Structure 1
């Protein structure tokens, strides 16, 4: 999770199990399990990869679905809302990943 603010909100949300379950079904078509860092069961591809790799895949996934003028608020949300000890993804790294995704898309 690139945002500490969203992570804390998500942890609160999953405690409301019925609402969380309904949300997951509507948003993802299935229940989205929570696996704190390093605790995913064996067999879930990529779940125990280093956090940097997981965040890279998140940036790639966003880049593939975002519209031309859309800006992801997750990468610097913690700084924007004034969180103590913000998380986030380095803007230069985001830009490099997005450029790589754009290059890949043009090569097709």
Structure 2
């Protein structure tokens, strides 16, 4: 009886540890959301068209998820001027800072000066 209790306890500990590790790895590969202001309808459309021209499927509408080459992100635009982009998954060798810089450059290209 005591051996079964010890075995069950070890299994529970292993499950908790593996779930925690998986969550930590997922959090490590996601980044904080970036919010952009003054994103006009033309700028938002420019971004969607540019991504599609690169062969990336972009869902219709003002929000959705896109994925390409191991990077998954989501976007949400309020239809007026506020755009939020979140990198949800990325290769571990790419830092959030690098990913954020690329997103900012991309958005700035379509927003203009």
When the two structures are superposed, what TM-score results if normalisation uses the length of structure 2?
0.26
Greater strand fraction, Structure 1 or Structure 2 = 2
